[in-house]
């Protein structure tokens, strides 16, 4: 249950995306980018596959998120600290935990709006054929959960530094590592000097593996659990960092 302070801060943060050009620039680049990648006339594109599914759309979502989510999350705490408004915010009757959750949920809801902007693609697919709507819905759930996990990573790095560029770069690097953790080249590299259980652990941390499992239509509790734990842990780190760094 959200406290009143969390709710008010959530609405203020959510509406702030539409008061600065950042929100609109993000939406335009995201919708144009994902539209182009889905329908571009290369291998594996929508038309090449000749099937009524959104597989090509979901294939590119992680890579769009890799660069665009850090752009949304980089300002979450860096800007508050740089402009000094953090002092204003945290002397109101609101706890750091509530503030972190409100800001995270607002950015997640904004990502939800961005994903909702791609709904015409579903209409296109339905118009052209007879797609499995269950798989499409699961694909969207997986995309939304992955967006939450990467936003939580971004919020953490945003609380680490006042500099938005550094926050952006650190989030991109960490997100890339988390997305690629299960890929064969990285696992091979790690297995060269690590024991087997460490390689398994690393593979289990792969955001992409869990995303693809849901996107393919396998919705298991372990995948949901993975994203839940991921978001909770990074948000917990975020709360600690805001407490530690607020005065600097």
Q: Is 97 in the site for another protein (CB under 8 A)?
A: no
Q: Is 91 in the site for another protein (CB under 8 A)?
A: yes
Minimum Å gap between C-beta 159 and another protein is 15
Stretch that binds another protein, among 35-43, 77-85, 136-144, 146-154 (CB under 8 A): 77-85
**Which of 20, 220, 222, 232 is in the footprint of another protein by CB under 8 A?**
20
The token pair at 138 is 């699961």
Could you tell me if 213 and 220 are in contact, meaning their C-beta atoms sit under 8 angstroms apart? yes
Instruction: Note the helical H segments in the chain.
Output: 4-16, 21-39, 46-49, 55-73, 75-83, 85-89, 96-116, 119-128, 133-160, 164-180, 184-191, 196-204, 207-215, 221-245
Minimum Å gap between C-beta 166 and another protein is 21
Cα–Cα distance, 140 to 58 (Å, whole number): 8
Minimum Å gap between C-beta 12 and another protein is 5
Residue number, 51 or 87, with CB nearest to another protein: 87
Q: Is 245 in the site for another protein (CB under 8 A)?
A: no
**Which of 4, 129, 198, 220 is in the footprint of another protein by CB under 8 A?**
4
> For the range 14-19, what are the long-range contacts, defined as Cβ-Cβ under 8 Å and sequence gap of 24 or more?
14/106, 14/109, 14/110, 16/106, 17/72, 17/106, 17/107, 17/110
Q: What is the CA radius of gyration of the chain?
A: 19
Could you tell me if 208 and 183 are in contact, meaning their C-beta atoms sit under 8 angstroms apart? yes
Q: Is 240 in the site for another protein (CB under 8 A)?
A: no
Q: Is 94 in the site for another protein (CB under 8 A)?
A: yes
The token pair at 80 is 């508050």
The token pair at 86 is 């953090």
**Which of 48, 85, 201, 225 is in the footprint of another protein by CB under 8 A?**
85
Q: Is 162 in the site for another protein (CB under 8 A)?
A: no
**Which of 90, 141, 177, 224 is in the footprint of another protein by CB under 8 A?**
90
Minimum Å gap between C-beta 80 and another protein is 9
Q: Is 1 in the site for another protein (CB under 8 A)?
A: no
Minimum Å gap between C-beta 6 and another protein is 10
Could you tell me if 75 and 85 are in contact, meaning their C-beta atoms sit under 8 angstroms apart? no
Q: Is 19 in the site for another protein (CB under 8 A)?
A: yes
Q: Is 9 in the site for another protein (CB under 8 A)?
A: yes
Q: Is 244 in the site for another protein (CB under 8 A)?
A: no
Cα–Cα distance, 53 to 80 (Å, whole number): 42
Contacts with another protein by CB under 8 A lie at 4-5, 8-9, 12, 16, 19-20, 83-85, 87-88, 90-95, 246-247
């Amino acid at each position: 249950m959200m406290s009143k302070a969390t709710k008010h801060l959530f609405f203020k943060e959510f509406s702030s995306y539409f008061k600065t050009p950042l929100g609109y620039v993000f939406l335009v680049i995201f919708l144009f980018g994902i539209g182009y990648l889905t329908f571009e006339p290369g291998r594996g594109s929508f038309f090449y596959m000749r099937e009524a599914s959104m597989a090509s759309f979901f294939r590119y979502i992680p890579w769009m998120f890799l660069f665009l989510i850090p752009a949304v999350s980089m300002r979450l705490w860096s800007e508050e600290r740089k402009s000094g408004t953090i002092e204003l915010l945290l002397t109101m009757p609101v706890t750091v935990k509530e503030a972190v959750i409100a800001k995270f949920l607002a950015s997640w809801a904004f990502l939800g709006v961005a994903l909702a902007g791609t709904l015409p693609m579903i209409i296109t697919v339905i118009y052209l054929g007879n797609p499995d709507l269950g798989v499409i819905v699961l694909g969207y759930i997986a995309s939304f959960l992955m967006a939450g996990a990467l936003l939580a990573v971004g919020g953490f790095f945003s609380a680490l530094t006042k500099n938005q560029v550094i926050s952006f770069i650190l989030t991109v690097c960490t997100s890339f590592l988390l997305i690629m953790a299960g890929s064969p080249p990285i696992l091979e590299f790690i297995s060269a000097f690590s024991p087997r259980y460490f390689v398994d652990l690393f593979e289990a941390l792969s955001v992409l593996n869990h995303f693809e499992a849901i996107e393919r239509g396998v919705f298991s509790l372990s995948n949901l659990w993975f994203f839940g734990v991921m978001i909770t842990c990074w948000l917990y780190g975020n709360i600690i960092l805001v407490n530690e760094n607020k005065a600097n």
